[in-house]
Amino acid sequence: MFVLGIDPGLSTTGYGLVETSRGVMRAVTAGVIRTDPADQIAHRLAELERDLVGLVDEYQIDEAALETVFVNKNRQSAMSVLRASGVALMVLGRRRIPVTEYTPSQVKASLAGFGGADKQQMQRMVQSRLNLPDLPRPADAADALAIAMCHAQSLRMNRAVERAR
């Protein structure tokens, strides 16, 4: 099963694809999509859509997960993340790919065991659990891999519960 994780952002959107098979998880690809802040927002969103469509079309994705928008004091930043999230949801929805959203603390708790893990702890957990030779970089790509891993674990747990019934 292929699970895509997305860490949405207007300037930088992280993506990470993991494959799970018989309880083993491996990283397939990870990276970031960057847009130019000098471009108009509509053009940046169109670029994000085009790149996400290319990614989704390249792999046979079974499930996807996004980090939910955290609305903090900076409303402009939150608006940018909301816009990028909307584009990602639209691309995945058009392909009928099931999407689940997770809060940052849910992702951290799933991988590190507690919701207060910092970025470097998360990168080390992703590296360790996926047997990567180096820390995954940039941080947005590592976050996206963590989101995909969180969802893959959740799916496995839900299936185990269903089988036990």
**Pairwise CA distance, residues 51 & 81, whole Å:** 16
List active site positions.
Answer: 7, 67, 140
Instruction: Determine phi and psi for 111, rounding to 5 degrees.
Output: -95, -40
DSSP characters over 124-153: HHHHHHTT-SS--SSHHHHHHHHHHHHHHH
**Pairwise CA distance, residues 52 & 86, whole Å:** 12
107, 150 Cβ separation under 8 angstroms: yes
**Pairwise CA distance, residues 5 & 46, whole Å:** 20
